[in-house]
Amino acid sequence: MGDHMLGVAMNGVTGRMGYRQHLTRSILAIREAGGVRLPDGSRIIPEPVLVGRSEHKLREIAERHGIERWSTDLDSVLSDDDVKIYFDSQITHAREAAVRAAIAAGKHIYVEKPTASTLSAALELAKLARDAGVRSGVVQDKLFLPGLLKLRRLVESGFFGQILSVRGEFGYWVFEGDWQPAQRPSWNYRAEEGGGMVLDMFPHWHYILEHLFGPVRAVTAKVATHIPRRWDENGEPYEATADDSAYGIFELDGGVIAQINSSWNVRVARDELVEFQVDGTHGSAVAGLRSCRAQHRSATPKAVWNPDLEDPGRYRDQWEPVPDNTEFPNGFRAQWENFLRHVVLDTPFPHDLISGARGLQMAEAGLQSARTGRTIELDEVTLA
Ligand SMILES: NC(=O)c1ccc[n+]([C@@H]2O[C@H](COP(=O)([O-])OP(=O)(O)OC[C@H]3O[C@@H](n4cnc5c(N)ncnc54)[C@H](O)[C@@H]3O)[C@@H](O)[C@H]2O)c1
Protein backbone atom coordinates (compact mmCIF):
# COMPACT_ATOMS: atom_id res chain seq x y z
CA MET A 1 0.00 0.00 0.00
CA GLY A 2 2.77 2.41 -1.02
CA ASP A 3 2.05 6.06 -1.59
CA HIS A 4 1.91 7.40 -5.13
CA MET A 5 4.51 10.10 -5.64
CA LEU A 6 3.56 11.94 -8.84
CA GLY A 7 5.87 14.49 -10.40
CA VAL A 8 3.82 17.36 -11.82
CA ALA A 9 5.47 19.74 -14.28
CA MET A 10 3.77 23.09 -13.72
CA ASN A 11 4.21 25.57 -16.58
CA GLY A 12 2.89 29.10 -16.03
CA VAL A 13 3.29 29.30 -12.23
CA THR A 14 4.55 32.86 -12.45
CA GLY A 15 1.10 33.89 -13.71
CA ARG A 16 -2.00 34.79 -11.72
CA MET A 17 -3.82 31.50 -12.02
CA GLY A 18 -0.77 29.29 -12.01
CA TYR A 19 0.64 30.77 -8.84
CA ARG A 20 -2.37 31.53 -6.69
CA GLN A 21 -4.89 28.90 -7.58
CA HIS A 22 -2.92 25.98 -8.91
CA LEU A 23 0.41 26.07 -7.09
CA THR A 24 -0.39 27.50 -3.67
CA ARG A 25 -4.08 26.79 -3.14
CA SER A 26 -4.08 23.41 -4.88
CA ILE A 27 -0.81 21.49 -5.18
CA LEU A 28 0.96 22.93 -2.12
CA ALA A 29 -2.26 22.79 -0.07
CA ILE A 30 -2.72 19.13 -1.02
CA ARG A 31 0.86 18.41 0.01
CA GLU A 32 0.40 20.22 3.32
CA ALA A 33 -2.68 18.09 3.98
CA GLY A 34 -0.57 14.96 3.46
CA GLY A 35 -1.76 14.22 -0.07
CA VAL A 36 -4.99 12.82 -1.51
CA ARG A 37 -6.10 9.77 0.45
CA LEU A 38 -7.29 6.78 -1.57
CA PRO A 39 -9.77 4.09 -0.44
CA ASP A 40 -6.97 1.58 0.28
CA GLY A 41 -5.37 4.03 2.71
CA SER A 42 -2.50 5.02 0.41
CA ARG A 43 -1.99 8.62 -0.67
CA ILE A 44 -1.24 10.51 -3.84
CA ILE A 45 1.47 13.07 -3.21
CA PRO A 46 2.01 15.52 -6.07
CA GLU A 47 5.60 16.77 -6.43
CA PRO A 48 5.73 20.07 -8.32
CA VAL A 49 8.48 20.86 -10.81
CA LEU A 50 8.15 24.53 -11.74
CA VAL A 51 8.60 25.40 -15.41
CA GLY A 52 8.70 28.83 -17.03
CA ARG A 53 10.64 31.41 -18.96
CA SER A 54 12.15 33.47 -16.18
CA GLU A 55 14.89 31.91 -14.11
CA HIS A 56 14.81 34.51 -11.35
CA LYS A 57 11.01 34.40 -10.96
CA LEU A 58 11.01 30.61 -10.75
CA ARG A 59 13.87 30.57 -8.27
CA GLU A 60 12.13 33.15 -6.12
CA ILE A 61 8.86 31.16 -6.02
CA ALA A 62 10.72 27.90 -5.40
CA GLU A 63 12.64 29.42 -2.48
CA ARG A 64 9.56 31.05 -1.02
CA HIS A 65 7.76 27.70 -0.87
CA GLY A 66 10.66 25.31 -0.35
CA ILE A 67 10.19 23.66 -3.75
CA GLU A 68 13.28 21.76 -4.84
CA ARG A 69 12.86 21.55 -8.57
CA TRP A 70 12.37 24.22 -11.19
CA SER A 71 13.59 24.71 -14.76
CA THR A 72 13.37 26.96 -17.80
CA ASP A 73 13.94 23.93 -20.04
CA LEU A 74 10.60 22.22 -20.68
CA ASP A 75 12.12 19.41 -22.75
CA SER A 76 14.47 18.32 -19.99
CA VAL A 77 11.60 18.28 -17.47
CA LEU A 78 9.48 16.24 -19.90
CA SER A 79 12.27 13.72 -20.32
CA ASP A 80 12.17 12.95 -16.57
CA ASP A 81 10.32 9.67 -15.93
CA ASP A 82 9.27 10.76 -12.44
CA VAL A 83 7.22 13.55 -13.99
CA LYS A 84 3.88 11.93 -14.77
CA ILE A 85 1.65 14.96 -15.32
CA TYR A 86 2.11 18.09 -17.39
CA PHE A 87 0.06 21.08 -16.20
CA ASP A 88 -0.24 24.25 -18.29
CA SER A 89 -1.54 27.63 -17.15
CA GLN A 90 0.49 29.69 -19.58
CA ILE A 91 -1.02 32.43 -21.67
CA THR A 92 -3.46 30.65 -24.00
CA HIS A 93 -1.40 31.12 -27.17
CA ALA A 94 1.60 29.31 -25.68
CA ARG A 95 -0.41 26.22 -24.65
CA GLU A 96 -0.68 24.13 -27.81
CA ALA A 97 3.02 23.65 -28.54
CA ALA A 98 3.85 22.76 -24.94
CA VAL A 99 0.95 20.32 -24.62
CA ARG A 100 1.95 18.61 -27.88
CA ALA A 101 5.46 18.11 -26.51
CA ALA A 102 4.11 16.77 -23.22
CA ILE A 103 1.80 14.27 -24.95
CA ALA A 104 4.69 13.12 -27.14
CA ALA A 105 6.66 12.53 -23.93
CA GLY A 106 3.81 10.34 -22.60
CA LYS A 107 2.66 12.67 -19.82
CA HIS A 108 -0.91 12.96 -18.56
CA ILE A 109 -2.24 16.41 -19.40
CA TYR A 110 -4.09 18.92 -17.25
CA VAL A 111 -4.58 22.44 -18.63
CA GLU A 112 -6.26 25.74 -17.99
CA LYS A 113 -9.11 26.76 -20.26
CA PRO A 114 -9.28 27.42 -23.13
CA THR A 115 -7.39 24.22 -23.99
CA ALA A 116 -5.98 25.89 -27.16
CA SER A 117 -6.49 29.05 -29.20
CA THR A 118 -8.73 27.45 -31.84
CA LEU A 119 -11.24 24.61 -32.02
CA SER A 120 -9.15 22.72 -34.58
CA ALA A 121 -6.08 22.89 -32.32
CA ALA A 122 -8.16 21.84 -29.30
CA LEU A 123 -9.52 18.82 -31.20
CA GLU A 124 -6.05 17.90 -32.39
CA LEU A 125 -4.75 17.93 -28.80
CA ALA A 126 -7.69 15.79 -27.63
CA LYS A 127 -6.98 13.32 -30.44
CA LEU A 128 -3.25 13.19 -29.72
CA ALA A 129 -3.94 12.55 -26.02
CA ARG A 130 -6.41 9.79 -26.83
CA ASP A 131 -4.07 8.11 -29.31
CA ALA A 132 -1.14 8.32 -26.87
CA GLY A 133 -3.30 6.69 -24.16
CA VAL A 134 -2.64 9.50 -21.66
CA ARG A 135 -5.33 10.92 -19.41
CA SER A 136 -6.39 14.49 -19.97
CA GLY A 137 -8.25 17.19 -18.12
CA VAL A 138 -9.22 20.82 -18.40
CA VAL A 139 -9.81 23.21 -15.50
CA GLN A 140 -13.57 23.73 -15.04
CA ASP A 141 -13.30 25.29 -11.61
CA LYS A 142 -16.59 27.20 -11.52
CA LEU A 143 -18.49 23.90 -11.24
CA PHE A 144 -16.82 23.42 -7.86
CA LEU A 145 -17.83 26.79 -6.42
CA PRO A 146 -20.18 26.69 -3.41
CA GLY A 147 -22.89 28.72 -5.19
CA LEU A 148 -22.92 26.47 -8.22
CA LEU A 149 -22.71 23.29 -6.15
CA LYS A 150 -25.83 24.43 -4.30
CA LEU A 151 -27.48 25.25 -7.63
CA ARG A 152 -26.58 21.76 -8.85
CA ARG A 153 -28.22 20.34 -5.74
CA LEU A 154 -31.44 22.18 -6.62
CA VAL A 155 -31.31 20.93 -10.22
CA GLU A 156 -30.73 17.33 -9.15
CA SER A 157 -33.52 17.46 -6.55
CA GLY A 158 -36.06 18.42 -9.22
CA PHE A 159 -36.73 21.72 -7.43
CA PHE A 160 -37.19 23.70 -10.66
CA GLY A 161 -39.77 21.47 -12.34
CA GLN A 162 -39.18 22.17 -16.01
CA ILE A 163 -36.27 24.56 -16.41
CA LEU A 164 -37.22 27.37 -18.77
CA SER A 165 -34.37 29.86 -18.80
CA VAL A 166 -31.03 30.84 -17.34
CA ARG A 167 -29.82 34.44 -17.09
CA GLY A 168 -26.23 35.16 -16.24
CA GLU A 169 -24.63 38.50 -15.38
CA PHE A 170 -20.86 38.53 -15.21
CA GLY A 171 -18.36 41.30 -15.02
CA TYR A 172 -16.91 44.29 -13.26
CA TRP A 173 -15.02 47.44 -14.13
CA VAL A 174 -11.43 46.75 -15.22
CA PHE A 175 -9.48 49.96 -14.96
CA GLU A 176 -8.06 51.27 -18.20
CA GLY A 177 -4.59 51.46 -16.68
CA ASP A 178 -3.88 55.18 -16.97
CA TRP A 179 -5.06 56.80 -13.75
CA GLN A 180 -5.34 53.50 -11.86
CA PRO A 181 -3.44 50.30 -12.79
CA ALA A 182 -5.54 47.67 -14.55
CA GLN A 183 -6.31 44.61 -12.43
CA ARG A 184 -6.04 42.15 -15.34
CA PRO A 185 -3.09 41.42 -17.68
CA SER A 186 -2.87 43.51 -20.87
CA TRP A 187 -2.76 40.42 -23.15
CA ASN A 188 -6.41 39.87 -22.17
CA TYR A 189 -7.28 42.90 -24.34
CA ARG A 190 -5.15 41.99 -27.39
CA ALA A 191 -6.70 39.58 -29.88
CA GLU A 192 -3.30 38.76 -31.37
CA GLU A 193 -2.18 37.40 -27.98
CA GLY A 194 -5.27 35.27 -27.39
CA GLY A 195 -7.21 37.88 -25.41
CA GLY A 196 -10.91 38.66 -25.63
CA MET A 197 -14.00 38.18 -23.50
CA VAL A 198 -15.51 35.46 -25.70
CA LEU A 199 -12.38 33.31 -25.78
CA ASP A 200 -11.92 33.86 -22.06
CA MET A 201 -15.44 33.38 -20.72
CA PHE A 202 -17.51 31.37 -23.21
CA PRO A 203 -15.54 28.19 -22.33
CA HIS A 204 -16.61 28.75 -18.70
CA TRP A 205 -20.23 29.36 -19.66
CA HIS A 206 -20.15 26.29 -21.85
CA TYR A 207 -19.17 23.81 -19.16
CA ILE A 208 -21.55 25.38 -16.64
CA LEU A 209 -24.46 25.11 -19.07
CA GLU A 210 -23.46 21.64 -20.25
CA HIS A 211 -22.92 20.16 -16.80
CA LEU A 212 -25.91 21.74 -15.06
CA PHE A 213 -28.56 22.10 -17.74
CA GLY A 214 -27.65 20.10 -20.85
CA PRO A 215 -25.85 20.34 -24.19
CA VAL A 216 -25.72 23.69 -25.98
CA ARG A 217 -27.15 23.50 -29.50
CA ALA A 218 -27.00 27.06 -30.88
CA VAL A 219 -25.37 30.42 -30.14
CA THR A 220 -26.26 34.00 -31.01
CA ALA A 221 -23.86 36.67 -29.81
CA LYS A 222 -22.98 40.31 -30.10
CA VAL A 223 -19.55 41.48 -29.01
CA ALA A 224 -18.01 44.89 -28.51
CA THR A 225 -14.74 46.57 -27.71
CA HIS A 226 -16.19 49.35 -25.61
CA ILE A 227 -12.80 50.66 -24.42
CA PRO A 228 -10.47 50.74 -27.45
CA ARG A 229 -7.37 52.16 -25.71
CA ARG A 230 -5.80 50.87 -22.50
CA TRP A 231 -2.50 51.16 -20.65
CA ASP A 232 -0.29 48.11 -20.03
CA GLU A 233 1.76 46.86 -17.06
CA ASN A 234 4.51 49.40 -17.91
CA GLY A 235 2.11 52.30 -18.17
CA GLU A 236 2.35 52.31 -21.99
CA PRO A 237 -0.82 52.94 -24.00
CA TYR A 238 -1.93 50.21 -26.39
CA GLU A 239 -4.78 49.52 -28.73
CA ALA A 240 -7.30 47.04 -27.30
CA THR A 241 -7.92 44.79 -30.28
CA ALA A 242 -10.01 42.14 -28.53
CA ASP A 243 -13.67 42.17 -27.52
CA ASP A 244 -14.12 43.35 -23.94
CA SER A 245 -17.86 42.61 -23.72
CA ALA A 246 -20.04 39.81 -25.04
CA TYR A 247 -23.81 39.46 -25.04
CA GLY A 248 -24.81 35.88 -25.75
CA ILE A 249 -27.94 33.78 -26.18
CA PHE A 250 -27.46 30.02 -25.91
CA GLU A 251 -30.12 27.48 -26.90
CA LEU A 252 -29.92 24.20 -24.98
CA ASP A 253 -31.41 20.78 -25.43
CA GLY A 254 -35.00 20.71 -24.24
CA GLY A 255 -35.66 24.32 -25.22
CA VAL A 256 -33.88 25.96 -22.26
CA ILE A 257 -32.77 29.47 -23.25
CA ALA A 258 -29.69 30.87 -21.54
CA GLN A 259 -28.66 34.52 -21.86
CA ILE A 260 -25.34 35.61 -20.42
CA ASN A 261 -23.86 39.11 -20.39
CA SER A 262 -20.10 39.27 -19.87
CA SER A 263 -18.34 42.60 -19.55
CA TRP A 264 -15.19 44.26 -18.23
CA ASN A 265 -16.99 47.59 -18.55
CA VAL A 266 -19.80 47.37 -16.01
CA ARG A 267 -20.00 48.48 -12.42
CA VAL A 268 -21.33 45.90 -10.03
CA ALA A 269 -24.85 46.31 -8.63
CA ARG A 270 -25.23 42.63 -7.79
CA ASP A 271 -24.37 40.63 -4.71
CA GLU A 272 -21.55 38.80 -6.49
CA LEU A 273 -19.29 39.23 -9.53
CA VAL A 274 -21.22 36.56 -11.38
CA GLU A 275 -24.83 35.55 -10.84
CA PHE A 276 -27.06 33.07 -12.63
CA GLN A 277 -30.83 33.19 -12.29
CA VAL A 278 -32.60 29.97 -13.19
CA ASP A 279 -36.36 30.02 -13.68
CA GLY A 280 -38.43 26.87 -13.80
CA THR A 281 -42.11 25.99 -13.64
CA HIS A 282 -41.87 25.02 -9.94
CA GLY A 283 -39.21 27.35 -8.64
CA SER A 284 -36.41 29.79 -9.33
CA ALA A 285 -32.95 30.35 -7.91
CA VAL A 286 -30.12 32.86 -8.09
CA ALA A 287 -26.63 31.47 -7.65
CA GLY A 288 -23.37 33.35 -7.34
CA LEU A 289 -19.85 32.25 -6.53
CA ARG A 290 -20.68 31.46 -2.92
CA SER A 291 -24.36 31.94 -2.25
CA CYS A 292 -27.54 30.56 -3.71
CA ARG A 293 -31.08 31.64 -2.91
CA ALA A 294 -34.30 30.13 -4.08
CA GLN A 295 -38.02 30.87 -4.37
CA HIS A 296 -40.50 28.03 -4.63
CA ARG A 297 -43.75 28.40 -6.62
CA SER A 298 -45.67 28.19 -3.31
CA ALA A 299 -43.81 31.27 -2.04
CA THR A 300 -44.00 33.30 -5.24
CA PRO A 301 -45.63 36.71 -4.70
CA LYS A 302 -48.24 37.95 -7.14
CA ALA A 303 -46.46 40.90 -8.71
CA VAL A 304 -48.78 43.45 -10.32
CA TRP A 305 -47.55 46.21 -12.61
CA ASN A 306 -48.64 49.65 -11.45
CA PRO A 307 -46.09 52.42 -11.82
CA ASP A 308 -48.49 54.96 -10.33
CA LEU A 309 -48.04 53.52 -6.84
CA GLU A 310 -45.02 52.82 -4.67
CA ASP A 311 -44.35 49.08 -5.11
CA PRO A 312 -44.72 47.35 -1.72
CA GLY A 313 -42.95 44.20 -2.96
CA ARG A 314 -39.57 43.78 -1.29
CA TYR A 315 -38.54 41.33 -3.94
CA ARG A 316 -35.01 40.62 -2.74
CA ASP A 317 -36.34 39.67 0.69
CA GLN A 318 -38.60 37.00 -0.76
CA TRP A 319 -35.85 34.47 -1.44
CA GLU A 320 -34.64 31.74 0.90
CA PRO A 321 -30.93 31.00 1.19
CA VAL A 322 -29.96 27.46 0.21
CA PRO A 323 -27.92 26.16 3.16
CA ASP A 324 -24.33 24.97 2.77
CA ASN A 325 -24.93 21.61 4.52
CA THR A 326 -21.30 20.72 3.90
CA GLU A 327 -17.84 22.25 3.65
CA PHE A 328 -16.66 23.53 0.31
CA PRO A 329 -12.93 23.32 -0.38
CA ASN A 330 -11.27 25.63 -2.91
CA GLY A 331 -12.75 24.70 -6.30
CA PHE A 332 -9.41 24.46 -8.10
CA ARG A 333 -8.08 22.15 -5.41
CA ALA A 334 -11.21 20.00 -5.45
CA GLN A 335 -10.80 19.50 -9.19
CA TRP A 336 -7.06 18.78 -8.86
CA GLU A 337 -7.85 16.07 -6.31
CA ASN A 338 -10.34 14.51 -8.74
CA PHE A 339 -7.80 14.65 -11.55
CA LEU A 340 -5.08 13.04 -9.44
CA ARG A 341 -7.50 10.22 -8.52
CA HIS A 342 -8.37 9.90 -12.19
CA VAL A 343 -4.69 9.50 -13.09
CA VAL A 344 -3.97 6.90 -10.44
CA LEU A 345 -7.27 4.99 -10.20
CA ASP A 346 -8.96 5.84 -13.50
CA THR A 347 -11.99 7.23 -11.63
CA PRO A 348 -14.42 9.11 -13.90
CA PHE A 349 -13.36 12.62 -14.89
CA PRO A 350 -15.81 14.25 -17.31
CA HIS A 351 -13.68 17.39 -17.72
CA ASP A 352 -11.49 16.00 -20.50
CA LEU A 353 -9.95 17.69 -23.53
CA ILE A 354 -13.03 16.93 -25.64
CA SER A 355 -15.19 18.80 -23.14
CA GLY A 356 -12.60 21.59 -23.36
CA ALA A 357 -12.87 21.53 -27.16
CA ARG A 358 -16.65 21.93 -26.95
CA GLY A 359 -16.01 25.08 -24.92
CA LEU A 360 -13.86 26.45 -27.71
CA GLN A 361 -16.45 25.44 -30.25
CA MET A 362 -18.96 27.63 -28.43
CA ALA A 363 -16.45 30.50 -28.27
CA GLU A 364 -15.72 30.30 -32.00
CA ALA A 365 -19.43 30.06 -32.77
CA GLY A 366 -20.00 33.15 -30.62
CA LEU A 367 -17.40 35.14 -32.55
CA GLN A 368 -18.78 33.88 -35.86
CA SER A 369 -22.29 34.86 -34.82
CA ALA A 370 -21.07 38.32 -33.86
CA ARG A 371 -19.32 38.71 -37.24
CA THR A 372 -22.22 37.49 -39.35
CA GLY A 373 -25.22 38.54 -37.28
CA ARG A 374 -26.53 34.97 -37.50
CA THR A 375 -27.39 32.20 -35.08
CA ILE A 376 -24.75 29.45 -35.26
CA GLU A 377 -25.76 25.84 -34.67
CA LEU A 378 -23.24 23.66 -32.86
CA ASP A 379 -22.50 20.31 -34.49
CA GLU A 380 -21.64 17.30 -32.36
CA VAL A 381 -17.90 17.40 -31.60
CA THR A 382 -16.20 14.12 -32.43
CA LEU A 383 -12.60 12.99 -32.79
CA ALA A 384 -11.60 11.51 -36.15
N1 LIG B 1 -10.01 29.08 -14.65
C2 LIG B 1 -10.09 30.40 -14.53
O3 LIG B 1 -10.95 30.93 -13.84
C4 LIG B 1 -9.12 31.29 -15.26
C5 LIG B 1 -9.04 32.65 -14.91
C6 LIG B 1 -8.11 33.45 -15.56
C7 LIG B 1 -7.31 32.92 -16.56
N8 LIG B 1 -7.44 31.60 -16.89
C9 LIG B 1 -6.57 31.01 -17.95
O10 LIG B 1 -5.29 30.79 -17.40
C11 LIG B 1 -4.29 31.10 -18.36
C12 LIG B 1 -3.30 32.11 -17.75
O13 LIG B 1 -4.01 33.28 -17.43
P14 LIG B 1 -3.46 34.31 -16.30
O15 LIG B 1 -4.56 35.24 -16.06
O16 LIG B 1 -2.86 33.53 -15.18
O17 LIG B 1 -2.32 35.04 -17.13
P18 LIG B 1 -0.96 35.70 -16.62
O19 LIG B 1 -0.60 36.71 -17.64
O20 LIG B 1 -1.05 36.14 -15.20
O21 LIG B 1 0.09 34.50 -16.66
C22 LIG B 1 0.54 33.97 -17.90
C23 LIG B 1 1.62 32.93 -17.67
O24 LIG B 1 2.04 32.48 -18.98
C25 LIG B 1 3.45 32.66 -19.09
N26 LIG B 1 3.79 32.94 -20.49
C27 LIG B 1 4.30 32.07 -21.37
N28 LIG B 1 4.49 32.64 -22.56
C29 LIG B 1 4.08 33.92 -22.46
C30 LIG B 1 4.06 35.02 -23.35
N31 LIG B 1 4.49 34.90 -24.60
N32 LIG B 1 3.57 36.20 -22.89
C33 LIG B 1 3.12 36.33 -21.62
N34 LIG B 1 3.12 35.31 -20.73
C35 LIG B 1 3.62 34.12 -21.14
C36 LIG B 1 3.80 33.76 -18.12
O37 LIG B 1 5.16 33.69 -17.78
C38 LIG B 1 2.86 33.46 -16.97
O39 LIG B 1 3.41 32.44 -16.15
C40 LIG B 1 -5.01 31.60 -19.61
O41 LIG B 1 -5.10 30.55 -20.54
C42 LIG B 1 -6.40 31.96 -19.11
O43 LIG B 1 -7.39 31.72 -20.10
C44 LIG B 1 -8.31 30.80 -16.25
Q: Which of 89, 96, 110, 143 to mutate to test the pocket of ligand 1 (most atoms within 8 A of CB)?
A: 89
Residue 377 lies in a domain: no
What is the number of the ligand 1 atom nearest to the C-alpha of 185? 19
CB of residue 15 inside a 6 A radius of ligand 1: yes
User: CB of 179 within 8 A of CB of 237?
Assistant: no
Residues 252 and 304 in one domain: yes
Residues 200 and 134 in one domain: no
CB of residue 21 inside a 6 A radius of ligand 1: no
CB of residue 364 inside a 6 A radius of ligand 1: no
Q: What is the pLDDT of residues 241-252, one digit of tens each?
A: 999 999 999 999
Q: Assign residue 70 the CATH number of its domain.
A: 3.40.50.720
Number of domains in the chain: 2
What is the number of the ligand 1 atom nearest to the C-alpha of 184? 15
Average pLDDT over every residue of 47-73: 98
Confidence band of 313 (pLDDT split at 50, 70, 90): confident
pLDDT of residue 1: 66
278 pLDDT higher than 80: yes
The residue range of the domain holding 97 is 4-141+331-351
Q: What is the pLDDT of residues 194-242, one digit of tens each?
A: 899 999 999 999 999 999 999 999 999 999 999 999 999 999 999 999 9
Strand 4-11 to strand 83-88: parallel, antiparallel, or no bridges (unpaired)? parallel
Cα–Cα distance, 12 to 10 (Å, whole number): 6
Nearest residue (CA) to ligand 1, atom 15: 16
CB of residue 92 inside a 6 A radius of ligand 1: yes
* DSSP for 252-300, written as a single string: EGGG-EEEEEEESS----SSSSEEEEEEESSEEEEE-SS-EEEEEGGG-
371 pLDDT higher than 90: yes
Cα(188) to centroid of ligand 1, in Å? 9
179 pLDDT higher than 70: yes
CB of residue 52 inside a 6 A radius of ligand 1: yes
% of the chain beyond a pLDDT of 70: 100
Beta bridge partners of 222: 247
Average pLDDT over every residue of 31-40: 97
Residue 55 lies in a domain: yes
Residue 380 lies in a domain: no
384 pLDDT higher than 90: no
The mean pLDDT of the chain is 97
Cα(357) to centroid of ligand 1, in Å? 18
